[in-house]
């Protein structure tokens, strides 16, 4: 089992535990590990809608012999009808684990503080560590050992990118981050990465970032709740699109956490092209989360 009770961000676990989760996930995926969690229950709290997060967690629990319970915005009023602390206390006694997909990261931390059961971050505005597990599993499958990998993040310094920065530092991946000046990664995240390992190189030049990259990763420029910033952000991110011209001089693998806005941060030709490993990356959400759940719950 992992030493941590909760998984609120990728650096809640150690580098050795990260390797163990990824190895467990790979073994579960290949069929070498047939661990089951019969009658285990995962409560899933959703403020934000989701395709991959809901389906991967629900399917994963079923495949492990357990059960996942979906609680959406209309099923439970987080912090409105009942304090977050009370919700956490009750659900932590009903279920074996709680997965939450929320807006505010502080709400996640409050739930974790009051829950007896492990709390897993399925996404907040600050972090998306389960996505990072899938990302690292995919890189290991397609590129190789982490200390030989050069990766580039091109786009917005958002929650997915911030967890990826921390995950790369823990894994020993050489990462370069390219963002427009006003949309950089949080300084606190870069400082945390420096404490965990090698911090990323930071630039505002996307061509510089991908020059020697084995993997190029992007995400949407306009995240959920940022629709009012659309015009402003499309102007700021000019030159950051992953298209065939931009990638003409590299054979780097292309990653995207989905959903993608084709024609904005990435073109359809690239998303569907030979360099794309996006669909394996999406599938690996299932396997990575199964590895995490087993490591958290298997006694």
Q: Is 192 annotated as a binding residue?
A: no
| 129 annotated as ligand-binding | yes
Based on the residue annotation, tell me whether 162 is a catalytic residue of this protein.
no
Residue 59 is assigned to a ligand binding site: no
Please tell me the distance from the alpha carbon of residue 25 to that of residue 283, in angstroms, as a whole number: 12
| Alpha carbon distance, N-terminus to C-terminus of the chain | 7
Which of 11, 219, 256, 281 is flagged as catalytic? 219
Q: Is 287 annotated as a binding residue?
A: no
Q: Known binder of ligand: residue 131?
A: yes
To the query of whether residue 257 is one of the catalytic residues in this protein, the response is yes
Find out whether 159 is annotated in a ligand binding site.
Answer: yes
Is 174 labelled as part of a ligand binding site? Answer: no
Of the residues 54, 128, 140, 192, only one is catalytic, namely 128
257 known ligand binder: yes
Tell me the C-alpha distance between 45 and 286, whole Å.
18
Q: Is 185 annotated as ligand-binding?
A: no
Which among 186, 264, 276, 262 is positioned nearest to 231, based on CA atoms? 264
Instruction: Say if residue 19 carries a ligand binding annotation.
Output: no
Q: Pseudo-torsion of CA 147, 150, 153, 157, nearest 10°?
A: 40
Q: Is 24 labelled a binding residue? A: no
Query: Residue 168 annotated as binding?
Result: no
The active-site residue out of 125, 162, 174, 257 is 257
Active-site pick, 140, 192, 256, 285: 285
Single out the catalytic residue among 107, 125, 131, 287. 131
- The reply to whether 168 belongs to the active site is no
The catalytic position among 54, 101, 256, 287 is 101
Answer yes or no: 262 catalytic. no
223 among annotated binding-site residues:
yes
276 belongs to an annotated ligand binding site: no
Consult the annotation and say whether 101 binds a ligand: yes
Confirm or deny that 89 is annotated as ligand binding. no
Say if CB 176 and CB 201 are below 8 A apart.
yes
Binding residues for L-ornithine: 159, 219, 223-224
Binding residues: 50-53, 77, 101, 128-131, 159, 219, 223-224, 257-258, 285
Binding residues for carbamoyl phosphate: 50-53, 77, 101, 128-131, 257-258, 285
Q: Which positions are annotated as active-site residues?
A: 101, 128, 131, 219, 257, 285
């Amino acid at each position: 089992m992992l030493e941590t009770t909760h998984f609120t961000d990728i650096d809640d676990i150690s580098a050795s535990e990260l390797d163990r989760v990824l190895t467990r996930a790979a073994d579960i995926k290949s069929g070498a590990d047939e661990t089951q969690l019969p009658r285990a229950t995962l409560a899933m709290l959703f403020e934000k809608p989701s395709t991959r997060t809901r389906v991967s967690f629900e399917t994963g629990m079923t495949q492990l012999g357990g059960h996942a319970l979906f609680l959406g915005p209309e099923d439970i009023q987080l912090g409105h009808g009942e304090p977050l602390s009370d919700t956490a206390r009750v659900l932590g006694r009903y279920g074996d684990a709680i997965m939450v997909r929320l807006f505010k990261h502080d709400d996640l931390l409050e739930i974790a503080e009051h829950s007896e059961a492990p709390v897993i971050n399925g996404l907040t505005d600050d972090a998306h560590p389960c996505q990072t597990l899938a990302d690292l599993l995919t890189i290991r499958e397609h590129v190789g050992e982490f200390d030989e990998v050069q990766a580039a993040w091109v786009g917005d310094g958002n929650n997915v990118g911030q967890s990826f920065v921390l995950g790369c530092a823990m894994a020993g991946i050489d990462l370069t981050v390219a963002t427009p000046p006003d949309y950089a990664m949080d300084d606190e995240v870069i400082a945390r990465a420096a404490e965990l390992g090698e911090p990323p190189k930071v630039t505002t030049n996307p061509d510089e970032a991908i020059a020697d990259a084995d993997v190029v990763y992007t995400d949407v420029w306009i995240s959920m709740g940022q629709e009012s910033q659309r015009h402003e952000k499309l102007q700021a991110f000019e030159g950051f699109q992953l298209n065939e011209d931009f990638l003409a001089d590299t054979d780097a693998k292309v990653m995207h956490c989905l959903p993608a806005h084709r024609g904005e941060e990435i073109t359809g030709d690239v998303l569907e092209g030979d360099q794309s490993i996006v669909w394996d990356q999406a599938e690996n959400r299932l396997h990575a989360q199964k590895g995490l759940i087993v490591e958290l719950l298997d006694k």
